Structure 1
């Protein structure tokens, strides 16, 4: 079982932590922050990404991202078909949609929220290289999925990109 308990250099693997995530993001010169709950997040190409440490012992690393587009509920079935196509053909990331309110005062959901997740169990610890690989994989594959959706919703993509570039 040495594969799970030793790094390539022979030392023990270090546990997952928010500090290590921030150090990895710093090494990539990423622009990120922490919210009031201490969750780490940032924007890549206008899409919001969060980096969570979860599990009873903080052993699970989850990268979750939201596609930054406003898609009406009338597109629900088309969106589910696109997500199913991606999930059938690709390993990563896991993708899903949620019915959401665009305005808290709306009585019913009015838009589709589309998300990605990439989860890994690091119960036995991990190297800095593994953490960097996980971040890179989650961001890149989520970006690929978001580009895939943009191809199907070019007007919404152009509108969102114009807004993002203004900021």
Structure 2
């Protein structure tokens, strides 16, 4: 029987991985809204710029925002809002489902907010990119935010009885 690679490395059976110096084309660059938009366009995703200047669109019926936060807009946050809303009476059951999700998974952070007398579910993936970000890193973060957000919302579908409606009109991807 062989031990996993990390165990062999700890026990001295594998050489320590060498750090690879990034090439010129992999140097981190500042995070910008244009770079996020370029990623979305390159994948054929449809999105809008909202009244706050944030990029937004819908994936599987749920709205997602691509926010640049912080003093120098160095923090990337992919925030999704489930298309459904739930009655306040379902707060306890929903909280249990969200707690299970957060306990068993790293991404996305999931939470519930009360909005207009109903419950809304949000998903967030955030990263501080003050030192900059490569195109590959940015693509991974954006894919993680979208992919895990969609997974969270899909996982809630069979757990919560159908009720509520979609978010306001935005193009669906």
Would the TM-score normalized by the shorter structure come out above 0.5?
yes
**SS of match in other structure, 2:91:** helix
Runs (5+) with no aligned partner, structure 1: 102-109
Runs (5+) with no aligned partner, structure 2: 1-18
Residue matched to 2:102: 87
Deviations 1:85-115 (A, max 9, x none): 10000000000001111xxxxxxxx210110
Deviation at 1:13, TM superposition (A): 1.3
Is residue 148 from structure 1 mapped to residue 155 from structure 2 by the alignment? yes
Correspondent of 1:16 among 31, 36, 41: 31
Correspondent of 2:54 among 39, 46, 55: 39
Is residue 62 from structure 1 mapped to residue 69 from structure 2 by the alignment? no
Correspondent of 1:113 among 117, 120, 141: 120
What's the TM-score, normalizing by structure 2?
A: 0.80
What's the TM-score, normalizing by structure 1?
A: 0.82
Which of the pair has the greater relative contact order for Cα pairs under 8 Å at 6+ separation? 2
User: How many residues end up aligned between the 2 structures?
Assistant: 148
Is residue 128 from structure 1 mapped to residue 135 from structure 2 by the alignment? yes
User: Higher Cα Rg: structure 1 or 2?
Assistant: 2
Tell me, in whole angstroms, the C-alpha distance in 2 between the residues paired with 1:75 and 1:143: 21
**SS of match in other structure, 2:31:** coil
Deviation larger for 148-157 or 36-45: 148-157
Runs of 4+ residues deviating >4 angstroms = none
Deviation at 1:118, TM superposition (A): 0.2
Q: What is the RMSD computed on CA atoms of the aligned residues?
A: 2.0
Is residue 96 from structure 1 mapped to residue 111 from structure 2 by the alignment? yes
